[in-house]
Structure 1
Amino acid sequence: MTRYAFTFPGQGSQAVGMGKDLAAAYPEARAVFQEVDEALGQRLSAIMFEGPDDILRLTENAQPALMAVSLAIIRVLEAKGVRLADHAAFVAGHSLGEYSALAAAGTFTIADTARLLKTRGQAMQKAVPVGHGAMAALLGLDMATTHEVAAEAAQGEVCDVANDNAPGQVVVSGTVAAIERAVELAKAKGAKRALLLPVSAPFHCSLMQPAADAMAQALAEVTMNAPVVPLVANVLATPITDPAEIRQRLVEQVTGVVRWTETVTWLTGPGGVTHLAELGTGKVLTGLAKRINAEAVGTSVTTPADIDAFVAALLA
């Protein structure tokens, strides 16, 4: 029996031109982009469609932009007779994608989600002065060895495991010197590759506590409904539905580990999911799903052609 989870991409998937083909093809998509623009008081859609790239890549723009494309796809699917509650057993999102997942599942309005992500992006950028934090991808090490590397590299500074993206693909985050030490230690311990990432701040580590505090305040002021299907939370890798717990986990997520390997493992194991549909820009999560569970069927739904094929498969 086919059983779907809908997943939503995180930062790094943004690209100039994102959403432009959707806006040209569907009034529902145009309405979402307009709603986000109005909620933020900026022409974010113009930056998404035309760039420049350096402005789109700013955390405070990339986060709501990625959500906007994901929600545009959700609204187009709804217009074609595909309701999330009827076709998805669970939702999950990678880091900021968790907000997209919750908006898709009705926990937040699109306008509130856009404002929350703007706040989140600004707070994450402000938490650490530029040049004081870094992140690195460590490829080819198991989690136990990665934790050893992080502990050894810290030396009284911050070096935390930030993202467990797939087996052998883990990201660490912290102060520049500690992360540089982690890169060298990882190579010495047999990593296939260890490289600094081109990010503007050290996400998902304890240095982000000021941003977590800002999100606790912002989330306390927003109306939250129970999602129409459970969210498999980044920091738990298990499903939750209670709005108060969702709020708590979203705050923890700012400094906590994105447990993506465990999330997909839970979905395709105890969750009984056979198909993972990635709704939004890019195909990063679809690629990770294959690395986590070779038997899982991953589908990337990004373009109008993807949407048509996905609707045909769901309504067949």
Structure 2
Amino acid sequence: MAIAFTFPGQGSQSVGMGKELADNFAEARAVFEEVDDSLGHKLSDIMWNGPEETLTLTANAQPALMAVSVAVMRVLEARGLKLADKVSYVAGHSLGEYSALCAAGTFSVSDTARLLRIRGNAMQAAVPVGEGAMAAIIGLEHCDVDAICSQAATGGVCQIANDNGGGQIVISGSKAAVEQAAALATEKGAKRAIMLPVSAPFHSALMVSAADAMRDALASVQKQSPCVPLVANVLAAPVSDADEIAKLLVEQVTGQVRWRETVEWFAANNVTTLYEIGSGKVLTGLARRIDKTVSGISINTPADIDAALQTLLG
């Protein structure tokens, strides 16, 4: 009957995120101030006041989501929660891996913010706007989508980026190839094939220059083994060695986020509760759809924190 903490990825951001935490908890305010200082501008002002299009920019959304997740963690810790005593594993969806690792002590808050700013800028710069695309395929099995991607890849890069579970798979790559794959998916019986309003083809081979940038950035930052194992995106299995984690974070830039398999791994290894730490409830919803034996609980408001502490600390 183990517990895991999970950390959301891009798409969970919204204007106003973290404001209630900052208004109620000094520990949360300190995290937002540290992130602002490490980036050299008031990201917290964009988070709380927008505009939405500025917050949604990859280079802002990634450190912003991490900041909210870590703010929640610092409040929980200040009220007596020790991660290693109560939680068996951490995991994060894409950029959420960095939030998870910061929470587990691998990276400092400042270093995590800077790493995510580098990651966001590098991913945005990897492919000229308009040359890449992503699409969500709803209602087909992983093997079917994989075959469709292989067929469409004759016209450019096309691969599975996120296996989110619940019949939702996101593909990524060259615009023409992804559009062809979306059309093929509809022909093969997909319920929906939706082109996504994204600025770059994340988690595809087109991101190789961003992977190179992250290899350099991760090599130069101080890191420690996490206090609990990370169930890594590209493995869907736990890892604890800091150098191995850095290698997997580089692979993740061009590789598949295996979230369905991650939740299935939790279920198969006696993890019954996934607490989603930070903005939104995306991962909580996915957990329910992937495996009914796993319950998801989101923590992103003061009331959520109070309820979670009652359960976790008794």
In the TM superposition, residue 15 of structure 1 has moved relative to its aligned partner by 0.3
Map of 2:312 onto structure 1: 314
In the TM superposition, residue 167 of structure 1 has moved relative to its aligned partner by 3.6
Q: Cα deviations across residues 138-186 of structure 1 (Å, max 9, x unaligned)? A: 0000011001110111114100110000041100000111111011000
Q: Cα deviations across residues 260-298 of structure 1 (Å, max 9, x unaligned)? A: 00011101112x101000000000000000011011111
Map of 1:46 onto structure 2: 45
Map of 2:61 onto structure 1: 62
Map of 1:267 onto structure 2: 266
Map of 1:213 onto structure 2: 212
> Which of 291, 294, 300 pairs up with 1:293?
291
In the TM superposition, residue 200 of structure 1 has moved relative to its aligned partner by 0.7
State which drifts further: 155-164 or 15-24.
155-164
Map of 1:166 onto structure 2: 165
CA contact 2:62–2:95 (8 Å) conserved in 1: yes
Q: Cα deviations across residues 201-255 of structure 1 (Å, max 9, x unaligned)? A: 0000000000000000000000110000000000000000001100100000000
Query: Where does the alignment leave 5 or more consecutive residues of structure 2 unmatched?
Result: none
CA contact 1:142–1:167 (8 Å) conserved in 2: no
CA contact 1:278–1:301 (8 Å) conserved in 2: yes
Structure 1 segments, 4+ long, off by >3 Å, are none
Map of 2:178 onto structure 1: 179
Q: TM-score, normalization: structure 2?
A: 0.99
* Structural RMSD (CA): 0.6
Alpha-carbon distance in structure 2 between the residues aligned to 1:128 and 1:262: 29
Q: Cα deviations across residues 91-129 of structure 1 (Å, max 9, x unaligned)? A: 000000000000000000000000000000000000000
SS at structure 2 position matched to 1:155 = helix
Alpha-carbon distance in structure 2 between the residues aligned to 1:169 and 1:297: 19
Alpha-carbon distance in structure 2 between the residues aligned to 1:268 and 1:22: 31
Q: Cα deviations across residues 26-83 of structure 1 (Å, max 9, x unaligned)? A: 0000000000000000100000000000000000000000000000000000011011
Alpha-carbon distance in structure 2 between the residues aligned to 1:16 and 1:252: 31
Alpha-carbon distance in structure 2 between the residues aligned to 1:122 and 1:69: 20
SS at structure 1 position matched to 2:271 = coil
Alpha-carbon distance in structure 2 between the residues aligned to 1:100 and 1:268: 22
Alpha-carbon distance in structure 2 between the residues aligned to 1:160 and 1:147: 7
CA contact 1:290–1:298 (8 Å) conserved in 2: yes
Which amino acid in structure 1 is aligned with residue 296 of structure 2?
A: G
Map of 2:147 onto structure 1: 148
Residue correspondence of structure 1 range 9-28 to structure 2 within 5 A? 9-28=8-27
Q: TM-score, normalization: structure 1?
A: 0.99
Q: Structure 1 residue 247 and structure 2 residue 259: aligned?
A: no
Query: Where does the alignment leave 5 or more consecutive residues of structure 1 unmatched?
Result: none
Map of 2:193 onto structure 1: 194
